[in-house]
Structure 1
Amino acid sequence: MENNKKYVWEDVIHTIKKLDPKKLEVVKATLPIVLEHGEAITTRFYQRMFENHPELRNVFNQTHQRTGHQPKALANAVYAAAAHIEDMSGIMPALERIGQKHRSLQIKPEQYPIVGENLLAAIKETLGDAATDEILDAWADAYEVISDVFIRMEDVLYKTSENQPGGWAGFKDFVIDRKVQESEVITSFYLKPKDGARLPSYLPGQYITIKVDLPQEEYTHVRQYSLSDRPGLEYFRISVKREDSLEEGDPAGIVSTSLHNVYQEEDILPITSPAGDFYLDVNSEEPVVLISGGVGLTPMMSMLNTIIEKQPSRKVTYIHAAMNGKVHAFREHVKDVAATHDNVRSYVIYQTPTDEDRQEHRFDKEGYITLDWLKETLPSNQAQFYFCGPTPFMKAVNKALKEWGVPQEHIHYEFFGSAGDLES
């Protein structure tokens, strides 16, 4: 099993190359400038890197480039790492999250110098004369320290992934054994290894990376999807929402629509072994509250199915929010689980329920999740809370939990795609 706690963080910290004190002071002094121009720098960085190394378009999600999500995420990561460069243990969770993503995407040590070269050039182009040779030299050393941390950390993750029972290196071919429509917009894909080998275990909530090559596309597309069933089965399951075009000029999701409309049973999908830092603590018996919005239910399904199979006495409350019953996946499964397991309670919130939803009494609340409703519904705030869904939904949940006094260490969440900020 790949567990990001297996490597000893202190070993990484103690082997970091120390910056020259003078260069460290330069980095500290220029942090506000980097923060102010961070998105402009990282946007230009990606432009330069893809111009100079177009093959890297096969690695990075181009949709996140167009929306600006990835440049913003990179800017935040660079700033945070530089701000904590003397002791990165303070941002260990963020670094672990990035390292897990890199391992899943197969980012390799030889790619870090490419990133560094183009990042420094982007700083120079963006800041102009303000980026003196002294500043660029100091930031070059800072980048070397930061990249060394990631390379060391990811080396352990690669070795752990490959050497675990059933593990493998790189991408491995899987066969789509079954394709099941779960709602009008979500379809599940049951994946089995083409070579018939055993599957590695994983932590409920983790994801895999799939690789899709389409004849009409110049570059390969890679996407990460949460595993939507529990570990220990003969298959991996992902449940994918079809991202249709919502308005003119807003392109449909290339990978999700291809999976829905093009890929069929018996087709091949190359994938990497499971990764991710968002997962259920299976060593705890504390009560759990799972809260999902839309397709954010996928990691929650893995957690819920794990609890009912492995922890039948652990109390779990599952709250799911969706537009209506037409797009609500796994509704009957969760309903059946709650009806047949004394430790499980479930609630459904529909924003705009259909007439059929009303007639069939398919939901418990109309509208949105609120703090008052959580207080009325849950026995207390003494639980481990896991949530996932669209960013506005997660911001609302996060705000409600904090106002209710839930400790930060009991709040766990995951962004789909580039990491964002729930506090803004």
Structure 2
Amino acid sequence: MNHLQPIQIKEIILHKLMMRLKAPFSTSFGTFQDKEFFVIEAIGESGLIGWGESVAFSSPWYTEETVKTSEHMMEDFLIPLLLKKPVNHPDEVSERFLPIRRNNMAKAALEGAVWDLYSKQLGIPLSKALGGTKKEIDVGVSIGIQDSMEDLVQLIEGYVEEGYKRVKVKIKPGWDVEVIKELRKYFPNLPLMADANSAYTLKDIELLKQLDEYDLLMIEQPLAHDDIVDHAILQKEVKTPICLDESITSFDDARKAVEMGSCKIINIKIGRVGGLTEAKKIHDYCKQKGIAVWCGGMLEAGIGRAHNIALTTLDQFILPGDTAGSSRYWERDIINPEVTVHKGQIIVSDNSGIGYEVDREVLRRYTVETKIFK
């Protein structure tokens, strides 16, 4: 079947899942261990199935979107738009969704299923459909704030032994310069980065400048979650590259941030920017401008993880991403085979579409609600 044949979706099934993380995840909203999200099943006229996964959390601590708002947007606005008429290429999905403002995670979940279906119709891996060429990708690991320095060091030692190519540690006021200084004693050559999750302001410039001593790969999102102006001021003052995450929700955000000198690195998350089409545009622009990019994680299950792997095969993803193996998060993932990491690398599947089969039995086990749209 060639790609000139339009993608006709006859049915979309929303599976609402509740999956227990192996370890609790702490945010400024508190701690959770059960992750609620949607798996999107798009069934084509051909009988082929495209899979997508939503990444919004139950509470709006990362962006304004939640599981509940995603459900409302998909059900009442986006799915009707998608089922209206066939699409010739997945790039058309984001154009069709343009009248709906923001709600990027809801859009990305559906668009991901269309990209999977499209690459299956072509009989090629999703990575190839996106223009990716890598056969394996490097992965790093992200570590939350620990109870003690000893716990943090022990955890990092374990990941270094497993071969992870980069370690990201969370910092916040009172848990920053001293922590990094201490880690550098134990791990002098480790590719290390600090993620500030918007915990600082320009008043902290002198403190953040102290981090320049420790040869960090980057400081991620030190200032406000929606800022590119103050980050430009900060980047002029510090030697360490600033990486923007939450501030970049579209290609235009990326272009403005680069033009202003707000960062030297961009973290691309498919859900945050509204889908693979927009993620690819940001990647292509950053490649042209010599800005390094990497793929961030949102505690995805197997389908979302597979989309991240496919995206990371594009060549400007020159820094290890957050896409660790399934077993780091889940007792049993919803895909076969599960995503595995060997010596800090994931082998990219050459099967068509996302490259993994959805395990129907496991999917049913975690499903709490199903809705069908025709």
Instruction: Report TM bin, short chain.
Output: under 0.3
How does the TM-score come out when normalised to structure 1?
0.25
Asked which structure has the greater CA Rg, the reply is 1
**Higher percent of residues as helix:** 1
**Higher percent of residues as strand:** 2
Greater RCO, 1 or 2 (C-alpha within 8 Å, sep 6+): 2
